Amino acid sequence: MPIRGEDNDTSVMKVDVGIILDMETDVAKVMHTCILLAIEDYHDAASRNATRIVPHLRDSKQDDVEAASATIYLLKDVQVQAIFGPQMSTQTDFVIDLGNRAKVPIISPATSPLLSVKENPYFIRGALPSTSQTKAIAAIVKNYNWREVVVIYEDSPDGTGIVPHLTDALQEINTLVSYRSVISPSADEDQILKELNNLNTKQTRVFVVHLQPFLASRLFLKAKEAGMMSSGYVWIITDVLTSFLDLLDPSVIESSMQGVIGIKPYVPRSNELNNFTKRWRKRFRQEYPDMDQVELNIFGLWAYDSITSLAEAVVKVGNTAIPKFKKAVTRKNLTDLDALGTSELGYLLIDSMQNITLKTGLSGDFRIANGELQPSPYQIVNMIGTGQRSIGFWTEKDGISYKLKMNGKTAKTNNNQLGTIIWPGQSTIIPKGWDISTSGKKLSVGVPVNGGLEQFTKVERGSNTEIATGLSIDFFQEVIKLLPYAVPYQFIAFVIQDKPSSPDYDHLIFEKYDAVVGDVTNLASQSKYENFTLPFTESGISAVVPVKYNDRTWIFLKPLKSELWITTGAFFVFIGFVVWVLEHRVNKEFRGPKRKQVGMIFWFSFSTLVFAHRERVASNLTRFVLIVWFFVVLVLTSSYTASLSSMLTVQQLQPSNDLIQIGDYVGYREGSFVKYVLKRLNFDSSKLRSYSTLEEYNDALSRGSKNGGVAVIYDELSNLRLFLNKYCRKYMMVGQTFKTTGFGFALPKGSPLVPDISSVVMKMMKQGEITKNKIQKYSEDETDCPQNNGTTDSLTVDSFKGLFLIAGVSAGSALLIFFLIFLYHHREILATDDSIGQKLSAIAKAFDEEKHKSNSVNEESQAATVLFAASEVSPVILPDVPSQSLEIRISDGLGASPADEGSSTTEPATPDHETNA
């Protein structure tokens, strides 16, 4: 084929390039036109003496043998230095081996992940492998929390190659590929419809389609016929279809693909691309004038960029090597394969192309690293009308985003969500991704008839129906109401058999029911056949025992610890002593015989306990001490009263730690796994008794172990809460709590309801009031039970350290002030030459004297001095003072006067100049 810019100058070096395409396909014709334009653009930009690229096209006719034959011809007879193609992975697999043998680069747009670049040194993938989109698909699935997916793929190497990688990508986000549907390219409409009907009987409603355009169009037409393009269904198509939607009949898209989500490599718009598209359309009409116009696609752009990269590699190599082949060693009976030589230019070209980046690639960021085209952003589109609408993008670095920057990177904004999607059935509501069935069958919920306490599960059989009630049933109904979608259900009663004699019990149950509701505990042994939601009750096993009152003979002593009793008594005596010291000299109530004074010390201090003291105090220091002490007494008596009241009302529990040793009988709920837990805890099997109702619990505990009952009952916390709400004044929970997982709803293994129900349960449990109200609903005659452990701690000294410190400091300070004043007034005693014993005796004698007797003379002397000074100043005003002593009333400084004390003094003055303290 003549190429514009090519000449016949034999002095110009030429590089022959082979092109192997399936020319019967539209994709091949698009790529062929792009290749021709790429070579022309290279020649137009190159200088006149630059190396020329000469293309040699061969048609593989969609046949592997034809592709191999064309490759041998190009390598043996034409001696091409590089080959672009083939398209199909099965053809490329053999061509790569020939390229490795001849050391000729093979640049193929084949997308199968089975073709390894690492194992084939002369292979360069000129397109993104189909596996590069699996993480983008998984990101879409994760964005909408779909838990199960069905993969529909073509029965061919290109189709099967993606499945393991897609499965791994979905497993990373905890999504299960519940079913794989393989469709043969040669399948007729009836076979396709039969497979779709089979898919429609399953619960999963999310389908990932990886089919070639022709087969995909037939699939979607039949899906529309089967009613699978309606509300609630999700269809995601891979780039093998999304990139070639223009090859489909527009009527197929408009009638049968509305609401489908597709992903495809993102091609940024640019002026260069717009100009190239115009040139390409014109050239395509010239090359294929009898064909209907098709659109330029990503594979055509990759073909253009691949040839451009090859041209740049040719320019880099330049004249360093002559483009020729080394001949093979000749042998007899030589075959075409044996006759293949090796290229002297190929290893230079492959070395240059394995890591190359185009600055202005038409397909976007066209970058080859280690022989592999590097991923670019994927665009997510929604099928609307006859076309597609962009709803977002995905990159491996930033995940899903609504917008992209101009450089192809995700915008650093809060746009990690897709745009508005019109789902199948013209719905804008996000599909839940699964359905119970297409026949309107309700979710069958098994309810055990004999599964436990009737407060949790109770089945009443009517004439034509079965009515289920109980806490578990109510909670399940609340959960279903709060799900973001409607789930029709019906309760079906069944009888629990003896599990030890039926090892496949769980397996048999879930062959009949879609869920089981009751007081069902999440056990590891059951996880083989079923999944549990998050528990909606408390977890654990504990015990209840009857309550009894402690011996109350000496209970009045228990509010205070012994050290606090001693400390309080010591302070009473200390305060009494301080008050006596301060009042002894000025208050007749605190004088008299020694026995009376000692009694007064104890009487006065302890009488303050009930504020019953009758003695009036005269000293201000005493008043200060008593004010502080009264506050201490008030706090002590109030605390004692509160603690004693608590001890008199709190029920003390019977200990249960020695039940195994003393041989008492132990109760448990009939049919519960608690029996096996007790056996593992070394309880004697002969001492275990089972009961079925709360009333039987009460009767057994009331009679006691010696009267045909039990001493303790072990059960799950949820059951015990119900029991205690009904009989809280008679029993209480004691002992260690053995952890379990609590009551949950059981569903078959892999059920998509598990995560959604668990999410709702978690929200309800955070509120708390729902469970509390329901427990109260099924607890007859419940009362407000005090939540305590049956004991009240006695008060200690540490609780009153501050009070005692304040009282001690105030009393000690008053005592110190008093003695300092007293010693100051009697300092002449300390100034004498008497011995220490004599001084102490004199001070004690002075202290024991009543203050008004020892102070009268001094008061007269002071009065005389005052009058004498006044007469010298004003003899006219003051008359002569008689020689006899005057009766003078002087306040003693401690709040009392001689008049108040009922005495007066007329004794002569003494040297004592004491003032009142």
The confidence band for 890, taking pLDDT boundaries of 50, 70 and 90, is very low
pLDDT of 278 over the 70 cut = yes
Lowest mean pLDDT, pick from 90-104, 453-467, 586-600, 706-720: 453-467
Query: How much is the pLDDT for 899?
Result: 38
Query: How much is the pLDDT for 630?
Result: 82
Q: At what angle do helices 717-726 and 694-703 cross, to 10 degrees?
A: 70
Taking the C-alpha atoms of residue 412 and residue 215, their distance in angstroms, rounded to an integer, is: 40
CA distance readout (Å), 552 to 174, 556, 561, 645: 62, 8, 16, 12
Query: Which residue has better confidence, 423 or 682?
Result: 423
Paired residues of 372 in beta bridges: 125, 369
Query: How much is the pLDDT for 906?
Result: 37
Taking the C-alpha atoms of residue 716 and residue 738, their distance in angstroms, rounded to an integer, is: 9
The torsion angles phi and psi of 220, rounded to 5 degrees, stand at -70, -30
Do domains 14-126+297-364 and 133-237+245-268+376-401 share one topology? The answer is yes
- What digits encode the pLDDT tens for the residues 318-371? 766 667 777 765 555 566 776 788 888 888 999 999 899 887 789 988 999 999
pLDDT of 891 over the 50 cut = no
First-to-last CA distance in the chain? Answer: 133
Lowest mean pLDDT, pick from 327-341, 682-696, 769-783: 769-783
Supply the DSSP string of 270-320, one letter for each residue. Answer: -HHHHHHHHHHHHHHHHH-TTSPP----HHHHHHHHHHHHHHHHHHHHTTS
Query: How much is the pLDDT for 790?
Result: 46
pLDDT of 625 over the 50 cut = yes
302: closest CA among 373, 210, 370, 371?
373
The confidence band for 825, taking pLDDT boundaries of 50, 70 and 90, is confident
Is residue 539 a contact partner of residue 717, using CB atoms and an 8 Å limit? yes
176: closest CA among 685, 752, 744?
752
Helix, strand, coil % over all residues of the chain, rounded to 5: 45, 15, 40
Mean pLDDT of 636-645: 81
Query: Which residue has better confidence, 749 or 342?
Result: 342
CA distance readout (Å), 524 to 275, 506, 534, 719, 756: 66, 12, 14, 21, 21
Query: How much is the pLDDT for 617?
Result: 76
CA distance readout (Å), 695 to 546, 715, 723: 14, 14, 9
Q: Give the contacts of 220 (CB within 8 A, at least 6 positions apart).
A: 229, 235, 252, 256, 257, 260
pTM above 0.75, yes or no: no
Query: How much is the pLDDT for 634?
Result: 84
Query: How much is the pLDDT for 480?
Result: 84
Is residue 814 a contact partner of residue 580, using CB atoms and an 8 Å limit? no
Q: Which CATH architecture has domain 133-237+245-268+376-401?
A: 3-Layer(aba) Sandwich (3.40)
Query: With the CA atoms of 895, 900, 903 and 906 taken in that order, what torsion angle do they form, in degrees rounded to the nearest 10?
Result: 60
| Assigned CATH topology for domain 14-126+297-364 | Rossmann fold (3.40.50)
Mean pLDDT of 430-450: 74
Query: How much is the pLDDT for 915?
Result: 37
Burial of 720 (0-12, 13-18, 19+ CB in 10 A): buried
Q: At what angle do helices 64-73 and 89-102 cross, to 10 degrees?
A: 20
The torsion angles phi and psi of 206, rounded to 5 degrees, stand at -110, 120
The confidence band for 192, taking pLDDT boundaries of 50, 70 and 90, is very high
pLDDT of 461 over the 70 cut = no
Q: Which of 9-23, 334-348, 599-613, 738-752 has the highest mean pLDDT?
A: 9-23
Mean pLDDT of 194-223: 93
Query: Which residue has better confidence, 139 or 680?
Result: 139
Mean pLDDT of 457-485: 75
Burial of 371 (0-12, 13-18, 19+ CB in 10 A): buried
Query: Which residue has better confidence, 478 or 904?
Result: 478
- What digits encode the pLDDT tens for the residues 480-502? 888 766 788 888 887 765 544 44
87: closest CA among 156, 28, 39?
28
- What digits encode the pLDDT tens for the residues 700-728? 988 888 888 888 888 877 788 788 888 87
Query: How much is the pLDDT for 56?
Result: 96
Query: Which residue has better confidence, 286 or 913?
Result: 286
Domain definitions of the chain by residue range: 14-126+297-364, 133-237+245-268+376-401, 443-535, 543-549+654-740, 555-649
Mean pLDDT of 142-158: 91
Query: How much is the pLDDT for 764?
Result: 77
- What digits encode the pLDDT tens for the residues 406-419? 555 555 544 568 89
* Domain spanning 543-549+654-740: CATH superfamily: Periplasmic binding protein-like II (3.40.190.10)
Query: How much is the pLDDT for 741?
Result: 57
The confidence band for 892, taking pLDDT boundaries of 50, 70 and 90, is very low
Secondary element (H or E) of residue 349: helix 346-353
Residue given tokens 């305060």 in the structure block: 575
What does pLDDT average to over the chain?
78
Mean pLDDT of 594-604: 75
C-alpha triplet 797, 800, 803: angle, nearest 5°: 135
Query: How much is the pLDDT for 128?
Result: 94
Query: How much is the pLDDT for 4?
Result: 44
The confidence band for 591, taking pLDDT boundaries of 50, 70 and 90, is confident
User: Rounded to an integer, what is the distance from CA 753 to the centroid of its chain?
Assistant: 19
The confidence band for 2, taking pLDDT boundaries of 50, 70 and 90, is very low
Is residue 800 a contact partner of residue 635, using CB atoms and an 8 Å limit? yes
pLDDT of 5 over the 70 cut = no
Query: How much is the pLDDT for 783?
Result: 44
- What digits encode the pLDDT tens for the residues 795-823? 677 777 777 788 788 888 888 888 888 88
Amino acid at 206: V
- What digits encode the pLDDT tens for the residues 11-67? 678 899 999 999 999 999 999 999 999 999 999 888 776 789 999 999 999 999 999
Lowest mean pLDDT, pick from 222-226, 555-559, 850-854: 850-854
